[in-house]
């Protein structure tokens, strides 16, 4: 459990600094930082709230192209013919013409570097015959990668009301792409294509950023996924719903720095005793006026994918109330293990208070929070 406290302490030190100073007020903002090796969540804001991916969609399009390349059903030098449908795709585009022959390698670069919508449609048609069938394949692949809330309706991210994702799902996709196709990852870090700069300006503004993708529609706001590496430590960060490209880039740059700072604090926490956390004033004032009561109650919030995340969030609740103990709970589902945030050793009032305030304390969307008796669990 010591490592959980170290991570929680580090998160606590930076929680205020990680709050976006220019987040949209229209409900589009969300962000997440994860350790790319352990998948520990280092920062979370509205990570399960439904958002529009815009051109972040193209990461999945290229994931499926990379799969086909590995299977041998596509080859880099292979040329394909542009359809009339693909040629009519709205910008940003390569300006492809019906009947034009173009190589798979060229299409990949156009999608990854310049976010070309027509190139994405050509790739979709090449793999599945038409874009609608390809979108179904994209959604099925999302489910297999644990992206539980993502739905794709097209290959390029152009506006569609049913095309949705979450910050958590986008981090999972980025991680899976790097893990499964490290030899193709360089496309997402390519700085230019045919003389035009990559849409991800942080590639040239920061030495530690080496790849990934931008996106924008009116419905989505300004989106960005990045991966950055320092001293053999890598993180993945996602910002959705930025107010402008400049504001998004500034905020992402701050998140990168703070994410690595959290990693530094985790490392330092391993070399010294953990400090006693401050108690939440809400619980300090209430406990001072109350007489001791039975601590045979627990709270439990189900449905987390990562045991590390569940333990970190459980520990955050313990620190907020300055009482209780983290308890591990998991359940084997049909295709994956589900983990729970659980704190035991509470009195009934504290358990109910923590449940009522869990969205603010944990920085997550409201979930069903159970108050359970540990002496009569049935």
Catalytic residues: 55, 58, 115
The CA-based angle 363-353-46, given to 5 degrees, is 15
CB-facing half-sphere around the CA of 75: CA atoms within 13 A = 4
Cβ atoms of 372 and 346 within 8 Å: the answer is no
**What's the rounded Cα separation, in Å, for the pair 263 and 147?**
25
What span, in angstroms and rounded, lies between the C-alpha atoms of 300 and 285? 24
19: left (phi over 0), alpha (psi -120 to 50) or beta: beta
* Backbone dihedral region for residue 75 (phi beyond 0: left; psi -120 to 50: alpha; all else: beta): beta
Question: Smallest Cα–Cα separation from 126: which of 70, 187, 185, 78?
Answer: 78
227 vs 187: CA distance, rounded Å: 13
Judge contact between 216 and 223, C-beta under 8 A. Answer: yes
Residue 331 to residues 336, 339, 378, Cα–Cα distance (Å)? 9, 6, 17
Q: Is 324 exposed, middle or buried (0-12, 13-18, 19+ CB in 10 A)?
A: buried
- Asked if 111 contacts 61 with a C-beta cutoff of 8 angstroms, the reply is yes
CA pseudo-torsion sign 361, 148, 26, 13 = positive
């Amino acid at each position: 459990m010591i490592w959980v406290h170290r991570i929680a302490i580090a998160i606590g030190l930076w929680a205020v600094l990680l709050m976006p100073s220019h987040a949209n007020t229209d409900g589009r903002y969300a962000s997440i930082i994860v350790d790319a090796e352990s998948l520990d969540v280092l920062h979370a804001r509205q990570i399960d709230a439904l958002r529009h991916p815009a051109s972040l969609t193209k990461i999945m399009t290229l994931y499926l192209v990379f799969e086909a390349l590995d299977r041998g059903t596509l080859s880099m030098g292979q040329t394909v013919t542009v359809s009339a449908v693909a040629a009519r795709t709205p910008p940003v585009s390569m300006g492809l013409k019906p009947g034009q022959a173009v190589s798979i390698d060229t299409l990949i670069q156009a999608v990854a570097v310049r976010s070309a919508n027509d190139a994405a449609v050509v790739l979709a048609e090449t793999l599945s015959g038409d874009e609608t069938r390809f979108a179904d394949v994209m959604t099925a692949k999302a489910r297999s990668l644990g992206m539980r809330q993502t739905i794709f309706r097209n290959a390029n991210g152009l506006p569609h009301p049913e095309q949705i994702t979450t910050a958590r799902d986008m981090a999972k996709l980025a991680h899976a792409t790097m893990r499964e196709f490290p030899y193709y990852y360089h496309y997402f870090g390519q700085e230019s294509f045919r003389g035009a700069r990559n849409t991800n300006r942080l590639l040239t503004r920061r030495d530690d950023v080496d790849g990934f993708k931008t996106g924008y529609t009116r419905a989505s706001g300004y989106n960005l996924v990045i991966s950055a590496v320092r001293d053999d430590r890598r993180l993945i960060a996602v910002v959705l719903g930025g107010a402008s490209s400049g504001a998004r880039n500034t905020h992402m740059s701050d998140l990168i720095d703070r994410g690595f700072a959290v990693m530094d604090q985790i490392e330092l926490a391993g070399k010294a005793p953990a400090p006693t956390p401050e108690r939440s004033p809400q619980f300090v004032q209430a406990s001072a006026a109350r007489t001791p009561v039975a601590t045979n109650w627990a709270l439990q919030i189900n449905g987390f994918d990562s045991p590390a995340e569940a333990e970190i969030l459980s520990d955050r609740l313990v620190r907020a109330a300055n009482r209780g103990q983290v308890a591990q709970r998991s359940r084997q589902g049909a295709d994956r293990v589900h983990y729970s945030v659980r704190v035991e050793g509470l009195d009934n009032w504290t358990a109910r208070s923590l449940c009522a305030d869990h969205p603010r304390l944990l920085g997550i969307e409201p979930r069903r929070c159970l108050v359970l008796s540990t002496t009569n669990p049935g």
